[in-house]
């Protein structure tokens, strides 16, 4: 996400500074890279970087598994670092764009619309990652002078190894491996990384009175639909299995974001799956 966003912003005449703990595998000429653990950057250096800037706060341990395996580090990064950045941003009059997640919303067996105004209870959170994002939102609202919270849908794109469910299904389909899912009805508002970046760009260029907004795909897409679309595009039947587990549906509606920023996703499910097919097919050819 960070590399795609840096590329999008640099092409839109922004001066981009990327701070990351690891070097970029595909550095961009126009981007300045600072290789550092943000928690170890001095306040003075951080203030110099944030002066006359907008801060897009993507840094997090974002895997539920990694959070559970490293709870202390997860809290230090996902909550402690957010506090540090807010403190510095307030000093430099910097607006913070905070990457939250649809994970803060509860799962459902039905496609219930999840809106920014829904009341969320910390006691209903079932994993550390979701908790850290919800607490991060509270910290922004309590302490930040200027901020925008964006609740991302499940982000996907052409990357290897695959990470999201839609990527894994298409990867297995291209390799003609058997596909097993918990329930074909499980569904998410997947958003392609290119659409996510264009949405963030719109957010930077505009203003909204709504401090919390969903930024997700326009279409609620089930895993069964992903498999069906992949079969059509590949031209062969896949070996699939539905484990008949309770369906997990999360439906964060992005209508408020679309209205406020005059934005809409450009990559529908068919095009997104086709891009994944082309990418994973070329990966097989190269290997």
Which sequence spans correspond to the domains of the chain? 2-156+191-219+251-267
Residue 274 has pLDDT above 90, yes or no: yes
Q: Does domain 2-156+191-219+251-267 have CATH number 3.40.309.10?
A: no
Q: Are strands 147-152 and 31-35 parallel, antiparallel or unpaired?
A: unpaired
Contact between 69 and 30 (Cβ < 8 Å): no
Handedness of CA 46, 52, 57, 58 (dihedral sign): negative
Summarize pLDDT for 117-148 with one digit per residue, the tens: 999 998 889 899 999 999 999 999 999 999 99
Task: Name beta bridge partners: 99.
Answer: 150
Query: Alpha-carbon distance 91 to 2, whole Å?
Result: 25
55 Cβ neighbours under 8 A, 6+ residues apart: 85, 89, 94, 95, 96, 97
CA-nearest of 172, 198, 208 to 263 is 198
- How many CB atoms within 10 Å of residue 274? 17
- pLDDT score recorded for residue 287: 58
CA-nearest of 90, 81, 87 to 133 is 81
Summarize pLDDT for 156-207 with one digit per residue, the tens: 999 999 999 999 999 999 999 999 999 999 999 999 999 999 999 999 998 8
Task: Name beta bridge partners: 129.
Answer: none
Residue with tokens 């894994």: 168
Summarize pLDDT for 10-42 with one digit per residue, the tens: 999 899 999 999 998 889 999 999 999 999 999
- The proportion of the chain whose per-residue pLDDT surpasses 70, expressed as a percent, equals 99
Summarize pLDDT for 219-273 with one digit per residue, the tens: 999 999 999 999 999 999 999 999 999 999 999 999 999 999 999 999 999 999 9
Task: Name beta bridge partners: 155.
Answer: 191
The alpha-helical segments, DSSP class H, found in the chain are: 2-10, 43-50, 64-69, 71-75, 81-91, 128-143, 165-174, 193-205, 223-234, 255-261, 269-286
Residue with tokens 């964060």: 252
Q: Name the pTM for this structure.
A: 0.95
Q: Are strands 54-57 and 95-101 parallel, antiparallel or unpaired?
A: parallel
Q: Is residue 62 very low, low, confident or very high in pLDDT (cuts 50, 70, 90)?
A: confident
If DSSP codes are grouped into helix, strand and coil, which group holds residue 112?
A: coil
Residue 285 has pLDDT above 80, yes or no: no
Contact between 9 and 201 (Cβ < 8 Å): yes
């Amino acid at each position: 996400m960070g590399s795609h966003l840096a590329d999008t912003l640099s092409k839109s005449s922004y001066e981009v500074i990327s701070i990351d703990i690891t070097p970029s595998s595909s550095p961009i000429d126009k981007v300045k890279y600072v290789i550092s653990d943000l928690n170890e950057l001095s306040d003075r250096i951080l203030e110099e970087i944030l002066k006359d800037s907008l801060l897009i706060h993507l840094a997090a341990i974002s895997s539920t598994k990694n959070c559970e395996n490293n709870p202390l580090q997860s809290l230090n990064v996902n909550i402690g670092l957010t506090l540090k950045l807010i403190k510095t941003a307030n000093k430099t009059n910097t607006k913070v764009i905070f990457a939250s997640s649809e994970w803060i919303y509860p799962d459902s067996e039905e496609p219930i619309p999840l809106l920014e105004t829904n009341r969320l209870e910390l006691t209903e959170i079932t994993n550390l990652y979701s908790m850290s994002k919800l607490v991060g939102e509270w910290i922004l609202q309590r302490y930040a002078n200027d901020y925008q919270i964006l609740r991302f849908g499940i982000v996907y794109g052409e990357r290897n190894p695959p990470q999201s469910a839609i990527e894994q299904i298409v990867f297995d389909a291209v390799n003609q491996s058997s596909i097993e899912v918990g329930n074909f009805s499980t569904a998410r508002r997947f958003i392609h990384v290119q659409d996510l970046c264009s949405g963030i760009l719109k957010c930077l260029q505009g203003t909204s009175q709504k401090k919390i907004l969903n930024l997700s795909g326009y279409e609620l897409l089930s895993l069964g639909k992903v498999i069906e679309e992949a079969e059509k595009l590949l031209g062969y039947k896949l070996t699939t299995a539905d484990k008949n587990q309770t369906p997990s549906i999360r439906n964060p509606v992005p209508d408020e974001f679309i209205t406020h920023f005059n934005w809409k996703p450009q990559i529908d499910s068919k095009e997104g799956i086709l891009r994944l097919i082309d990418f994973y097919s070329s990966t097989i050819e190269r290997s």
